[in-house]
Homo-oligomer: A and B are copies of this chain.
């Protein structure tokens, strides 16, 4: 098998034109597509409807080409939309496909696997049951994709959140939820999902985990998880990316962890691993080999970056996650030399406080 990756610019959140040109032009078959990661231009916060708009548009565009109803598409293709293209970030989507065959390669090649947990009860979200079910599903996805633990470089998860209705339903049954604040539930669900990845990959000890640790013990984190919460599901959807000897093709992925928002050396290490070392910005041939850049961004709760105050958490006009995406986008774009980077916010238990995981998918040198 071979993992295909196509990066497509989007002119607006419902712009499926590029994807349809890929399919209708014969580059990718609709049935080969297993995941679409979109970076849409909303605020990335509670009232960001560009995510749902994009999801509806992509499902509607692909459905007739799969011969199924639009409602049935999400069960076939993981549709993960991440809002927020602050600063120089450019709206785009990454289309992942799986094709049988492909040129056998000596080295390990990019591999992809997907899985899903059971649906959670509201009282399980942001707590141990979500952590453990996520860990099990991550292991399933890895096994199915023949990726070994050490070769996992990115685990993208879409997870549920609490609404007033869901909280009320649990209360009616006599259960309390991890929080009564629906916005806070997004962070707890992202955090528990990330801890599930960390548990599956051996990044944290099972004994260190508890309901109370979620959102509080910032020392526990995964260096490969990237999670986002959405209202439209009650289970966790998982996409794992890694390298495997069982896969073919000329793509390969590497990752590292940014220690803070300006940790350029982390990117340098990833590029070095991929044979893309450069003293400054990638030149055109090197840049052409970069197929996707994925990163998490967040404002350090400490309020400082290397001892100097930042104002992201105190700005009541612009949400901290919007500031964070803009600056991390700048750090990465300066070296990568392009702006269609998949930088998403909300990095609870995904890397250390103020930092986050970072991965690059690149074409092997010819």
- Contact B340 A308, beta carbon cutoff 8 Å: yes
Q: Of A48, A315, A319, which is in contact with the most chain B CB atoms at under 10 Å from its CB?
A: A315
How far does the alpha carbon of A43 sit from the alpha carbon of B43 in the complex, in Å? 11
Tell me if A339 counts as interface (CB < 8 A to partner B): yes
Interface bits A10-21 vs B (CB < 8 Å: 1, else 0): 011110000000
Beta-carbon contact of A312 and B87 below 8 Å: yes
A334 touches B330 (CB 8 A): yes
On chain B, the residues within 8 Å of A319 by CB distance are 316
- Chain A interfacial positions (CB closer than 8 Å to B): 9, 11-14, 41-43, 45-50, 52-53, 56-57, 60, 85-92, 164, 261-262, 264-265, 267-268, 279-281, 303, 305-306, 308-312, 314-319, 322-324, 326-335, 337-340
A-B contact pairs, 11 of them (CB 8 A): A47-B317, A49-B49, A85-B310, A85-B311, A87-B261, A88-B323, A90-B310, A267-B334, A268-B280, A326-B330, A329-B330
Chain B minimum-CB-distance residue to A322: B318
Q: Chain A binding site: helix, strand, loop or mixed by DSSP?
A: loop
A250 CA to B323 CA, complexed, in Å:
36
- Complexed CA–CA distance, A92 and B305 (Å): 14
Q: Once bound together, how far apart are the Cα atoms of A86 and B328, in whole Å? A: 12
B residues less than 8 Å from A49 (CB atoms): 12-14, 42, 49-50, 53
- A75, chain B: closest CB distance, angstroms: 20
Pair A43/B262 contact, Cβ less than 8 Å? no
Most buried by B among A90, A318, A319: A318
| A308 to B333 alpha-carbon distance, docked (Å) | 12
Bound complex: CA A53 to CA B88 (Å): 25
CA distance A264 to B50 in the complex (A): 31
Contacts of A13 in B (CB 8 A): 49, 53
Query: What are the residues of chain B within 8 A of A262 when measuring CB–CB?
Result: 88, 281, 330, 333-334, 337, 339
In the complex, are the beta carbons of A334 and B264 less than 8 A apart?
yes
B residues less than 8 Å from A333 (CB atoms): 262, 327, 330-331
A319's closest neighbor in chain B, by CB? B316
Cβ contacts under 8 Å, A308 to chain B: 9, 90, 92, 338-340
